[in-house]
Amino acid sequence: MATVEEFYKLRDTEDYFKFFGIEFDQGLINVKRFHMMKEYGTLIRKGIDSITEENKLLEFLKFSLLRVYGDYKNGHAPSAADVWNMYETGKLDGCSSCGTPTAGTPTSGGSCGC
């Protein structure tokens, strides 16, 4: 089982994906590595101190990486505040037209204004 201690030892972007068992596109990582990891760092800094249970923290870290990767893969990168609010409230909905995160809003077409 993975531990938070092992997570803190990771250095390369690919290592984070392998740690959580997440498949990834190496080409996308090669092009967007800096931007994705910067967004990931911003996102996890906002929530990391408020989660005390190790398994919940690992879930948050994995979800955050999946969210950032998915957003870059789909060509959209939301703010860290948007993603944290979605995780915190449990409302992981998005616009059904473009996939833009729309925490707290219905997933009917065009709910983000696209």
Give the model confidence (pLDDT) of 30-40 as tens digits.
999 999 999 99
pTM above 0.75, yes or no: no
pLDDT per residue over 84-100, tens digit each? 665 665 554 444 444 44
d(CA 96, CA 43): 23
How far is residue 111's CA from residue 78's CA, in Å, rounded to a whole number? 15
Nearest CA-CA partner of 82 in 70, 67, 72, 65? 67
Taking the C-alpha atoms of residue 24 and residue 98, their distance in angstroms, rounded to an integer, is 21
Residues 3, 31 contacting (CB under 8 angstroms)? no
Helix (H, G, I), strand (E, B) or coil at 30: helix
- Token reading at 36: 């994705």
